[in-house]
Structures are given as C-alpha cells and as structure tokens.
Amino acid sequence: MPATTFDPHVAAHWIERFRAGARERVRDELAVEEPLEIRVDGSPLAVTMRTPGEDEELAAGFLLGEGLVTGPGDLASVGLAEDLAANVVEVRTRSGLRRDPSAERRFHLSSSCGICGKGALELVRQEAPPARPVAPGSIEPELVIGAPDRARREQVAFERTGGLHATALFDCAGELMLLREDVGRHNAMDKAIGALLLAGALPTPGTVACLSGRSSFELVQKAGLAGLAGIVAVGPPSTLAVALARERGMLLCGFVRGESFNVYAGSELLAE
C-alpha cells in the first residue's frame, strides 16, 4: 500500500460511530485547528486560530486585509520561525506598518473572527484605497454560475473532513487562479489574497473571489483592499456587506445554486 501523503490540513482520530443500531470504532479525518502567532519586526501582533499550511500567505493576507500593508513593496520578508513547533510567522517590513493598530483591535482572533474588537466601522473603511474601476459588462454570468462547482472540485481537504471553508480566486476569463482552505473563512480569504501578494500579483483587475459560505462585511472589506472586482458566494450576504460592496463598486452575488443567483451589488458589471 502506498504511503499516505502528509497533509497539514487534516488529522486522523479514532471515533465511535453509531449507525442503524450498530456501534463501531473507526478512524475519522478532522480539520486541524491550531494557533498561529504573527510577529511583525520582532513584536507579536496577532494570534489567530487557523488550519496549518500556507501560514506565510495567511500572515501577508492578514496584514493587507487590515490595511497595515498595501503591497509587496511594504514587505521585506515573510517566513516561519526556525522552531516550526512554535507556530510563529515572522514578518519583516521595509519601513514599518502603515499605522499603529494597537488601539483598534484585541488581536486574539478565533477562526471565525473577522473584525472582532474593532472600535468602529470607520476604522475599517478609512484604510481602503480608492476603488479600482471595473468596466461595465466585463464579468460573464457564466463565471458566477460555474465558480462554486469549479471551486468545490478543488476542495481536497473539505472532501476528506467536511469541516473547512474555502476561497477561490478566478480571473476575468473565468479561469481558476488558486484556492485556499481553512477552518476560518476569514483565514481562507487571507491565504488566497496573501498568495497573490507574496507573488507580486496584486492588484488583479477583474479577479472575483468565490466563497464556500456567506459574505460578511469583513470579507468584502478584505476583497476591496486587495482590489478584487467582486465576490460570488453560495450563501447570502449581510446588510453591511451589501452596503460596502455598493460603496466600493464591487459585484456581490449570493445564493449561487445551479443556474440561478442573486445580485446584491454591482449588477452593471455583469455582461448581458
């Protein structure tokens, strides 16, 4: 039997399963959740609960999504601490963060936390750069319809555990650029955006994010800070998510099921 490839996203555990009156002990696969500390220029900044893997991307995407950096030019290096068991990512900036965030957030985040601890929504909005215009009619409805199924086929860890969120990024031609999974939906977005940031591929005009769940304010904010054209989600958005997407001129679609979907913002960006 060939050796199983190690996957940091998944861990096997013995469980007891009850089915049709029978009880058996079986091995099950669970999504891994562990803390990650993000240090910037030698000082601790945040601790987030995440699924291990793509930790450098998560750290870079987190900083971009908070408006603490604005592009790859702000980063000198991003890497794991020498002691891998420490679960620490070390970020070195070229000239410090764009602002001191210490008064804005309690930077101890759960895997489900987005802007937890923010003092006011204005502190989030004010860091967004000017919206990048996207040409009307430049996004095909077929991209929206096909994105969730295309992304679902690439969710390898979800297929094994059923316990991970995903963010997939599609280019304006509808091609899948990359997909990242994590127990936290915000982490999945940070990892996807961080991958582009570290590759020097931001901004990416016309890029659309596909979410495996719902669209919240903070996910729209992260997408806006990364210069994405919009979000497609299998679930619904919140009222603040819709308001921000409209404010930013972004496409926001929800309840994408089969051949149907709802458009909450940016309908002018869809081709006829």
Instruction: Locate CATH 3.10.20.10 in the chain.
Output: 34-124
pLDDT in tens, 230-248: 999 999 999 999 999 999 9
Which of 3.30.70.240, 3.10.20.90, 3.20.20.240, 3.10.20.10 is the CATH number of 34-124? Answer: 3.10.20.10
Q: What angle do CA 199, 256, 152 make, to 5 degrees?
A: 50
Residue 109 confidence class, pLDDT cut points 50, 70, 90:
low
50 pLDDT above the threshold of 60? yes
DSSP string, 39-71: EETTEEEEEEEE-SS-HHHHHHHHHHHTTS--S
> Catalytic residue at 116?
no
Q: Which CATH class is domain 141-269?
A: alpha beta
88 pLDDT above the threshold of 60? yes
113 pLDDT above the threshold of 60? no
Instruction: Locate CATH 3.40.140.10 in the chain.
Output: 141-269
**pTM (2 d.p.):** 0.89
pLDDT in tens, 148-167: 999 999 999 989 999 899 99
Residue 272 confidence class, pLDDT cut points 50, 70, 90:
confident
Q: What pLDDT score was predicted for residue 47?
A: 92
Q: What pLDDT score was predicted for residue 116?
A: 45
Query: Is 181:51 a contact under the CB 8 Å cutoff?
Result: yes
Distance of alpha carbon 73 from alpha carbon 110, whole angstroms: 29
